[in-house]
């Protein structure tokens, strides 16, 4: 595969240092570093300036590729997606292709994903994140024939669109559950449906804290899984970054932290109040510094409890009960006293059935998303590294 120096086929044009005193509510948008985001650069929230002929050489149009060249987001790049012309502000770079018959703009855009780590390494080598136009132009990219460039860009664009579509589908399912919860139970803060309020002491049959230990003294390479706060995500258990206890200690000094299927665990320190249910496959595992609860079957459905605490209103209630200084934590005393609305068990069960069906569909979408991302990675590697 032929590799070429980027600067041979395009330049990175620096922006202009517009004065904030010149900004107005009308006129031509000025794209600043803060307008360059992962989802694209737009004029939606841009400052504006009156037209001046001297600024025309800094004009940008739709699909121009922009890059942040200093500050905390140095190296972030995006296409300009708005239809209206804009000006490029200082420290925003714009890729200007010298000959579009030799280098395709979309191919260049996808090439930059392959250069991303190199750009970041160069930019963050000093005290202040910064990269120059010449630094970027000195990087190399593969350069197949133009038609092949367009084909590669089209394939990656289609894969990228499918990934975005699947992410949106997952987000819509989350929104569906939120709206369904409010429709069935009303706003828990206002409690306009008049549900009985109960405290943790009333709706929980078990409430304790998992063992707090010095990790190095108990961890082993393989043994009994010990869940930590970083493994607890909203409504699910993340089985990456696991640690293990030896079976002997698990049965002895750590026995109080053994989890059973159906237990609901809460994060005590960190993302306080985040809740998840222990599934069948984790029955008998252990945990570290998590709040362990078991809802009373005749009062509370686990899925209702978990969804409630992971919701925006649940998070607000938890934040009001946090204690401590810099390192906030949520303790069992707070759950004992914290009252939440308890709808009829029949209605809770109906909601739980909806959640189970929705989460099953979400799991399918998530698996498909992972397949698409892997496919995108393989296509990209083959196109730009010859893998």
Please give the backbone phi and psi of residue 90, each rounded to the nearest 5 degrees, phi first: -55, 140
CATH number of domain containing 253: 3.90.220.20
- Domain check: are 39 and 118 in the same one? yes
- Domain check: are 205 and 319 in the same one? yes
Q: Which residues of 240-253 are buried (b: 16+ CB within 10 A; e: fewer)?
A: eeebbbbeebbeee
pLDDT at site 311: 87
> Please, is 350 exposed, middle or buried when counting C-beta atoms within 10 Å of its C-beta (0-12, 13-18, 19+)?
middle
CB hemisphere CA count around 353 (13 angstroms): 7
pLDDT at site 369: 96
Task: Answer yes or no: is 376 within a domain.
Answer: no
DSSP 292: E
Task: Answer yes or no: is 207 within a domain.
Answer: yes
Task: Answer yes or no: is 379 within a domain.
Answer: no
265, 278 in Cβ contact below 8 A?
Answer: yes
- Domain check: are 215 and 333 in the same one? yes
pLDDT at site 220: 86
- Averaged over successive runs of 10 residues, the pLDDT of the chain (387 residues) comes to 91 94 91 92 94 93 96 93 95 96 96 91 83 94 94 95 95 94 88 92 90 72 90 92 82 80 92 92 92 93 93 84 72 88 95 94 94 92 78
Task: Answer yes or no: is 311 within a domain.
Answer: yes
- Domain check: are 122 and 223 in the same one? no
pLDDT at site 249: 67
Residue whose C-alpha is closest to residue 345's, from 195, 244, 217 = 195
How many domains is the chain built from?
Answer: 2
- Domain check: are 84 and 16 in the same one? yes
3-state secondary structure of 282: helix
User: Which residue range(s) make up the domain with 246?
Assistant: 196-342
- Domain check: are 100 and 236 in the same one? no
Token pair listed for 114? 């392959």
């Amino acid at each position: 595969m032929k590799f070429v120096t980027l600067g041979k086929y395009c330049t990175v044009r620096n922006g202009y240092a517009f004065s904030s005193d010149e900004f107005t509510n009308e006129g031509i948008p000025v794209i600043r570093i803060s307008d360059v985001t992962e989802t694209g650069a737009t004029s939606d929230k841009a400052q504006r300036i009156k037209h001046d002929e001297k600024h025309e050489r800094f004009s940008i149009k739709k699909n121009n590729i922009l890059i942040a060249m200093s500050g905390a987001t140095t190296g972030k790049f995006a296409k300009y997606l708005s239809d209206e012309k804009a000006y490029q502000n200082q420290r925003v770079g714009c890729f200007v292709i010298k000959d579009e018959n030799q280098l395709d703009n979309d191919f260049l855009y996808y090439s930059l994903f392959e250069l991303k780590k190199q750009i970041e390494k160069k930019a963050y080598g000093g005290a202040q994140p910064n990269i120059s136009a010449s630094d970027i132009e000195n990087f190399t990219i593969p350069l197949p024939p133009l038609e092949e460039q367009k084909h590669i860009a089209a394939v990656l664009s289609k894969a990228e669109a499918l990934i975005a579509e699947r992410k949106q589908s997952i987000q819509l399912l989350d929104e569906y559950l939120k709206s369904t919860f409010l429709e069935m139970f009303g706003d828990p803060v206002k409690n306009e449906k008049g549900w009985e309020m109960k405290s943790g002491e009333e709706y929980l049959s078990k409430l304790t804290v998992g063992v707090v230990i010095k990790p190095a003294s108990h961890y082993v390479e393989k043994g009994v899984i010990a869940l930590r706060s970083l493994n607890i995500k909203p409504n699910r258990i993340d089985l990456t970054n696991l640690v293990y206890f030896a079976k002997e200690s698990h049965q002895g000094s750590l026995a109080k932290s053994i989890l059973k299927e159906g237990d609901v665990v809460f994060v005590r320190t960190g993302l306080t109040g985040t809740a998840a249910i222990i599934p069948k496959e984790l029955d008998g595992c252990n945990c570290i510094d998590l709040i362990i609860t078991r809802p009373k079957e005749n009062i509370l459905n686990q899925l209702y409890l978990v969804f409630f605490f992971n919701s925006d209103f649940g998070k607000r209630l938890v934040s009001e009960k946090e204690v401590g200084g810099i390192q906030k934590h949520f303790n069992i005393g707070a759950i004992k006293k914290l009252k939440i609305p308890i709808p009829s068990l029949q209605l809770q069960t109906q909601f739980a059935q909806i959640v189970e069906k929705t989460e099953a569909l979400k799991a399918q979408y998530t698996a498909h998303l992972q397949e698409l991302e892997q496919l995108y990675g393989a296509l990209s590697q083959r196109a730009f590294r010859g893998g």
